[in-house]
Structure 1
Amino acid sequence: MLQWLNLSATNKFPSFMGMITAVLAQSGSFVVIKFATKDGINKYVMVVYSMALSTILLLPLAFFNNRSQCPPLTFSLLCSFFFLALLGTSAQIMTYRGIELSSPTLASAMLNLIPAFTFLLALIFRMEKINWRHYSSQAKVIGTIVSMTGAFVVIWYKGPPIFKIHSSSSYNTLRFSPNLNWILGGLLSAGDSLASSIWYIYQVSLTKKYPALIVIVFFQVLFITIQSGVYALIVVRDPSAWELNLDMGLIVIFYQAICAIGIRYCLQIWCVQRAGPLFCAMFKPIGIIFTVLLGFIFLGDDFYLGSLIGAIIIVMGFYVVQWGKASEEKVERGMENMESLCNDVPLLQNKT
């Protein structure tokens, strides 16, 4: 499979593994968020504590970073970090609200809109090129559309449960979900996907101006802590919601701070710098498979036929896009080799 994607030849295997780890961490985050909210933990307070803890953990790494190789911090750069954090804060608020109204599976499925949004934004900002007469470009477009189709299958079609945990529930053979909360949760998750796509694109220009990735992550998490703290103080009126106890909530905060924030943010920015925004965005479809399995194992969520069908469609689209990207890069390398050979020929002729 890796040979088919030509990952080793393009030196993207580390990025491949990095994004798989990041997506798995995010899928686990969806599950623990749902678990925590069921246990009565306020989701916005959880964000503030998780971000604050992650900021503390990242502080020594950012402080001891080799700054001699990086440009000095300026007000313009700090504004860029603040805007990047604002995108992350908006995405998190929409994600948490979407999970509360629907389910982790739906929230993860809607992340499959990120490749489409990222692809369109990359075209607008000329980070990606489309040659409609070339099969690789056609594959990227078709694969993106197929992945989006699979995401909407998961939203609108549930079907019968393949693995049923809750025996008290009854389901029709063909069950569509007109429930307003479910649809609103999907729309909020779609807003999260749009904010995340802009986040991916903006990171590319930011890492070019300031290549110290750990410093970018630190200031991003610091500003998200401040922004989410202000938002939580507005919407959370119960002072007891801010109390910390030795319970599941504390475990969730540690997981979010270390895995879902610290490790995932570092891996995503590192992979975007190495492989580009579209390559990283195309790993989001894999997240739904992780989320469905983790939700079934840890939350006892029923596994629906619609989720299985949608996941299959999503994975097909994912690999079509990856194949198109690999083919496109292979053609580009061939053209570069031809150009180098053409440049070498006159030199050989002059020597003779």
Structure 2
Amino acid sequence: MAKRYCYKDLLPFAALVAMECNNVGLNTLFKAATLKGMSYHVFVVYAYAVAAIVLLPISFVSRRSRVLPPLNFSIFSRIVFLGFIGCSSQIMGYTGISYSSPTLSSAISNLVPAFTFLLAILFRMETIAIKSSSCQAKILGTIVSISGAFVVTLYKGPPIIITHAPSFSLHQPLNTPRSVDPSWAIGGLLLTAEYILVPLWYIVQVQIMKVYPDELTVVFFYNLCVSIMAAIVGIFAEPNPSAWKIGPGTALASILCSGIFGSFLNNAIHTWTLRMKGPLYVAMFKPLSIAIAVAMGFIFLGDALHLGSLIGATIISMGFYTVMWGKSTEEMDENVGRVESPTAENVPLLQGYETERAGKNMHANV
């Protein structure tokens, strides 16, 4: 029971929190690279190509060590469609960050749980039973968590703890506009479009995993598709050949880190947790990114801790754990229902086994 709890509950939880920390750092490194002139079209192509190269031998070993259905045209076409969604969302997202900041990206990502919840209902992956306490907890927790994330973003408040170390802040935008900046608005619109596509990516990925449950192979072909599609777009969007030359520095570090820790590790872990826990569970970790950005800025960069950050992080935690409670209660109810309601096919089999054993005993006694 303890091993099952660690694998089914504790491990996905810890992995997704770690990935949100990872994503905050990768977005900040990407922003620093684009400020030095790196093209985001070139970045997407190279980062996903690095991930595909790393995954090639791993996915080959994974396929040989497991019994899997054939990778037919139907499954592969779904992966290509997943790649199209991913390519579109990544280009929109990185373009939006280059126009705005990682902080704005973290703030708008708070919309993901709401969009995911709605899409999961439409695709019948989540059920609404208003009278059920678990359903009420999921709805209330989603709203509370999103509200807390916006508190962190919109309300700064007085400083509680002030540090004097000069720092580069994860929480403050890298290019905060002094007035209404058109590029900031464009960045916000592109980021919103990205986080509308992310829940759709979750839904399609879950559907693929139902028919082909091999995370590494799916993620390999997904990264390969995104890299090829992004290269086709990049040829037209970035015709300057010099932009495709990446030398040692921040740009190369951003590409390698994003390819290994983002496109490879992050996508593999999200694919695994989607199969284990479903799209809503994964989406609920998105509002944590803004609180993680604040915490990382305070601990590692010496940023001042403000009242708004503390209040918002507390609200996020309350909403987050409310949803987690609702999900765990729902899973417990489902498990109890399976145990208490044996299928009609199992009853005759059990009866047949008992009858056969009784017959053998009578024969032995004779």
Q: Deviations over 1:27-60 (max 9, x none)?
A: 2211111111122222221221111111111111
Kept after mapping to 1: 8 A contact 2:106/2:289: yes
Tell me how far apart the structure 2 counterparts of residues 113 and 72 of structure 1 sit (CA, whole Å): 37
Q: Deviations over 1:322-349 (max 9, x none)?
A: 1111122223333334335xx99x97xx
Tell me how far apart the structure 1 counterparts of residues 212 and 167 of structure 2 sit (CA, whole Å): 51
Structure 1 position 161, deviation (Å): 6.7
Task: State the partner residue of 2:112.
Answer: 114
Tell me how far apart the structure 2 counterparts of residues 101 and 149 of structure 1 sit (CA, whole Å): 25
Match of 1:31 among 21, 28, 33: 28
Quick one: structure 1 residues 10 and 166, their matched pair in 2 at CA, closer, same or farther if it must change by over 3 Å?
A: closer
Q: Deviations over 1:114-153 (max 9, x none)?
A: 1111111111111111211122111111111122223433
Equivalent residue runs for 1:124-273 within 5 Å: 124-158=122-156, 179-273=181-275
Aligned residue type for 1:55 = A
Tell me how far apart the structure 2 counterparts of residues 288 and 33 of structure 1 sit (CA, whole Å): 17
Does residue 102 of the first structure (1) align with residue 100 of the second (2)?
A: yes
Does residue 318 of the first structure (1) align with residue 317 of the second (2)?
A: no
Count of aligned residue pairs for this structure pair:
336
Q: Give identity over the alignment, percent.
A: 42
SS in 1 for 2:80: helix
Tell me how far apart the structure 2 counterparts of residues 263 and 88 of structure 1 sit (CA, whole Å): 15
TM-score by length of 1: 0.84
Tell me how far apart the structure 2 counterparts of residues 114 and 122 of structure 1 sit (CA, whole Å): 12
Tell me how far apart the structure 1 counterparts of residues 184 and 156 of structure 2 sit (CA, whole Å): 12
Kept after mapping to 1: 8 A contact 2:149/2:291: no
Structure 1 position 252, deviation (Å): 1.3
Tell me how far apart the structure 2 counterparts of residues 299 and 48 of structure 1 sit (CA, whole Å): 31
Does residue 65 of the first structure (1) align with residue 65 of the second (2)?
A: no
Gaps of 5+ in 1: 168-175
Kept after mapping to 2: 8 A contact 1:153/1:309: yes
Task: State the partner residue of 1:171.
Answer: none
Tell me how far apart the structure 2 counterparts of residues 111 and 83 of structure 1 sit (CA, whole Å): 22
Quick one: structure 1 residues 50 and 297, their matched pair in 2 at CA, closer, same or farther if it must change by over 3 Å?
A: farther
Task: Let me know the Cα RMSD of the aligned residues.
Answer: 3.2
Quick one: structure 1 residues 303 and 323, their matched pair in 2 at CA, closer, same or farther if it must change by over 3 Å?
A: same
Structure 1 position 263, deviation (Å): 0.7
Structure 1 position 109, deviation (Å): 2.2
Task: State the partner residue of 2:175.
Answer: none
Q: Deviations over 1:260-315 (max 9, x none)?
A: 11111111111111111111111112222223344567788887654444333322
Quick one: structure 1 residues 297 and 222, their matched pair in 2 at CA, closer, same or farther if it must change by over 3 Å?
A: farther
Aligned residue type for 1:330 = M
Structure 1 position 199, deviation (Å): 0.6
Structure 1 position 253, deviation (Å): 1.2
Tell me how far apart the structure 2 counterparts of residues 69 and 166 of structure 1 sit (CA, whole Å): 51
Does residue 43 of the first structure (1) align with residue 40 of the second (2)?
A: yes
Task: State the partner residue of 1:170.
Answer: none
Structure 1 position 9, deviation (Å): 8.1
Tell me how far apart the structure 1 counterparts of residues 81 and 131 of structure 2 sit (CA, whole Å): 38
Kept after mapping to 1: 8 A contact 2:8/2:276: no
SS in 1 for 2:8: coil
Structure 1 position 21, deviation (Å): 2.5
Quick one: structure 1 residues 9 and 242, their matched pair in 2 at CA, closer, same or farther if it must change by over 3 Å?
A: closer
Tell me how far apart the structure 2 counterparts of residues 93 and 11 of structure 1 sit (CA, whole Å): 33
Tell me how far apart the structure 2 counterparts of residues 252 and 9 of structure 1 sit (CA, whole Å): 33
Quick one: structure 1 residues 314 and 183, their matched pair in 2 at CA, closer, same or farther if it must change by over 3 Å?
A: farther
TM-score by length of 2: 0.81
Kept after mapping to 2: 8 A contact 1:143/1:321: yes
- Higher mean alpha-carbon deviation, 71-80 vs 220-229, is at 71-80
Tell me how far apart the structure 1 counterparts of residues 100 and 244 of structure 2 sit (CA, whole Å): 25
Q: Deviations over 1:196-217 (max 9, x none)?
A: 1011111111011112221110
Does residue 55 of the first structure (1) align with residue 55 of the second (2)?
A: no
Aligned residue type for 2:194 = D
Equivalent residue runs for 1:294-333 within 5 Å: 294=296, 306-333=308-335
Aligned residue type for 2:275 = Q
Tell me how far apart the structure 2 counterparts of residues 195 and 220 of structure 1 sit (CA, whole Å): 15
SS in 1 for 2:119: helix
